[in-house]
């Protein structure tokens, strides 16, 4: 059986499971080699290559779960927006903020078929029973990219201004993004993913009251649809801060915590039935002394000793400047815990 799936189902295990957001590609030399030959879009569109990159961190680092090699921006693509992935990050051709008359978006589900082919290929290739995490973006994060068109301004100021100017009419768009995400998530479940994560990476860019009123009901609908298939769900509302106290009815099995909230503080805000995932600061994975890493791991290990419904992960994703050796060291340290 899998220690990751056992933990998601609330079983006590002798150590926490470990996987990292953005573990596929990024810091792997084998991935860099592949990227010299293929663009990011080509890699994720070819089921064999996507399967190879998905499983790379499993053999490179020994993580306890694989995450599908794809992107949250495939939903805007399926809604009819054109997205390119140059090295500087994703770029939309027709971001909503820059359109003079708002383009009518229509969801074309067949545009996502290549991703289900990749899931089938991963399931054929991986070891039987090894968990595969499927995912989509949260409705706000997906909207912010669609409106702003790039993430070069991490505050998404234009997209937020556009949001406030069109708050009630944008409810329809959030609902449309959610409907497409539900269809996409349910098909991932049909094709045999073992768990599902909702990446609301930019959830903290709206005041938490606004997020909870306008966006959170859509998130709950998405999580409920996935949960109805029996698939465990992890919700990552990055930057929600004290808003965490108001998501106890989210329906997810686990909530992923960023590095701005300590695990004990998050534990106080979230009910016991919700497990915590997180929240090691990924910037520590760029330090040049292993001792710094070991010291930084201590509070998380102490937390785990008292709170077993826990998955070790980062407060956000790996970045290209994180070193292979540091990542390997942290994973090995977590995997030797035993009590
Ligand atoms: O472990 C994994 O990384 C699995 C696959 C995955 C990717 N993107 C592949 C990718 C996942 C889960 C995502 C999610 C995603 N994509 C999010 C939410 C989570 C997060 O990390 O914030 C967001 C906001 C995006 C949008 C996006 N895609 C950005 C901002 C970028 C550029 C910066 C970067 O590297 O993340 C991408 C490109 C992207 N998505 C790459 C990969 C491997 C880099 C492509 C490359 O140049 O090789």
Q: Name the residue with the closest Cα to ligand 1, atom 23.
A: 72
List pLDDT tens digits, range 211-242.
999 999 999 999 999 999 999 999 999 999 99
**φ, ψ dihedrals at 320, nearest 5°:** -60, -20
- Indicate whether 93 pLDDT > 90: yes
Q: Pick the closest to residue 270 from 240, 297, 229 (CA basis).
A: 240
- CB of 117 within 8 A of CB of 190? no
Mutate to test the pocket of ligand 1, among 81, 86, 317 (most ligand atoms within 8 A of CB): 317
Identify the pLDDT of residue 1: 84
Mean of all residue pLDDT scores within the chain: 96
Measured in Å, residue 30 CA sits from the centre of ligand 1 at 17
Place of tokens 């994973």: 331
**φ, ψ dihedrals at 92, nearest 5°:** -95, 140
Measured in Å, residue 26 CA sits from the centre of ligand 1 at 9
Measured in Å, residue 71 CA sits from the centre of ligand 1 at 6
Q: Name the residue with the closest Cα to ligand 1, atom 5.
A: 69
Ligand 1 atom at minimum distance from 238 CA: 22
List pLDDT tens digits, range 168-219.
999 999 999 999 999 999 999 999 999 999 999 999 999 999 999 999 999 9
Measured in Å, residue 327 CA sits from the centre of ligand 1 at 18
Identify the pLDDT of residue 154: 87
- Indicate whether 112 pLDDT > 80: yes
- CB of 72 within 8 A of CB of 123? no
pLDDT band for 152, please (50, 70, 90 cuts).
confident
Measured in Å, residue 22 CA sits from the centre of ligand 1 at 6
- Indicate whether 101 pLDDT > 80: no
Measured in Å, residue 199 CA sits from the centre of ligand 1 at 11
| Token pair in block for residue 219 | 């998130």
Q: Name the residue with the closest Cα to ligand 1, atom 29.
A: 89
Mutate to test the pocket of ligand 1, among 18, 19, 20, 25 (most ligand atoms within 8 A of CB): 25
Measured in Å, residue 69 CA sits from the centre of ligand 1 at 9
Pocket of ligand 1 (CB under 6 A): 21-26, 35, 40, 67, 69-73, 85, 87, 89-90, 135, 137, 141, 151, 199, 201, 317
d(CA 278, CA 262): 10
Measured in Å, residue 302 CA sits from the centre of ligand 1 at 31
Instruction: Measure Cα distances from 207 to 164, 211, 216, 242 in Å.
Output: 12, 6, 12, 11
List pLDDT tens digits, range 236-289.
999 999 999 999 999 999 999 999 999 999 999 999 999 999 999 999 999 999
Helix H or strand E segment including 335:
helix 324-335
User: Exposure pattern of 293-309 as b/e (b: 16+ CB <10 Å)?
Assistant: beeebeebeebbeeeeb
- Indicate whether 333 pLDDT > 90: yes
Ligand 1 atom at minimum distance from 151 CA: 30
d(CA 312, CA 335): 10
pLDDT band for 26, please (50, 70, 90 cuts).
confident
- CB of 96 within 8 A of CB of 77? no
Mutate to test the pocket of ligand 1, among 22, 53, 73 (most ligand atoms within 8 A of CB): 22
Ligand 1 atom at minimum distance from 69 CA: 5
Ligand 1 atom at minimum distance from 24 CA: 1
pTM over 0.85: yes
d(CA 247, CA 323): 35
Measured in Å, residue 212 CA sits from the centre of ligand 1 at 25
d(CA 41, CA 32): 14
């Amino acid at each position: 059986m899998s220690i990751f799936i056992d933990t998601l189902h609330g079983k006590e295990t002798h150590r926490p499971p470990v996987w990292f957001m953005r573990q596929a590609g990024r810091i792997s030399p084998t991935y860099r080699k592949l990227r010299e030959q293929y663009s990011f879009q080509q890699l994720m569109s070819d089921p064999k290559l996507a399967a190879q990159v998905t499983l790379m961190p499993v053999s490179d680092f020994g993580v306890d779960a694989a995450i599908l090699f794809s992107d949250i921006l495939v939903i805007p693509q399926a809604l009819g927006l054109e997205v390119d992935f140059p090295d500087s990050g994703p770029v939309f051709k027709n971001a909503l903020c820059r359109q003079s008359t708002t383009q009518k978006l229509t969801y074309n589900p067949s545009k996502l078929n290549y991703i289900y082919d990749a899931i089938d290929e991963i399931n054929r290739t991986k070891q039987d029973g090894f968990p595969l995490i499927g995912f989509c973006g949260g409705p706000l994060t997906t909207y912010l990219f669609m409106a702003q068109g790039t993430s070069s301004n991490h505050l998404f100021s234009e997209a937020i201004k556009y949001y406030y100017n069109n708050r009630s009419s944008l409810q329809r768009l959030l609902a449309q993004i959610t409907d497409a995400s539900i269809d996409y998530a349910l098909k991932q479940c049909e094709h045999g993913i073992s768990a599902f994560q909702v990446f609301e990476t930019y959830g903290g860019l709206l005041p938490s009251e606004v997020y909870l009123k306008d966006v959170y009901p859509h998130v709950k609908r998405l999580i409920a649809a996935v949960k109805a298939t029996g698939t465990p769900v992890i919700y990552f509302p990055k930057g929600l801060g004290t808003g965490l106290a108001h998501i106890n009815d989210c329906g997810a099995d686990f909530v992923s915590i960023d590095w701005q909230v300590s695990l004990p503080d998050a534990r106080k805000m979230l009910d016991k039935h919700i497990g915590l995932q997180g929240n090691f600061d990924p910037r520590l994975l760029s330090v040049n002394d292993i001792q710094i890493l070991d010291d930084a791991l201590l509070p998380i290990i102490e937390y785990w000793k008292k709170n077993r419904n826990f998955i070790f992960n980062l407060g956000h994703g790996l970045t290209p400047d994180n070193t292979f050796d540091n990542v390997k060291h942290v994973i090995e340290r977590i995997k030797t815990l035993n009590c």
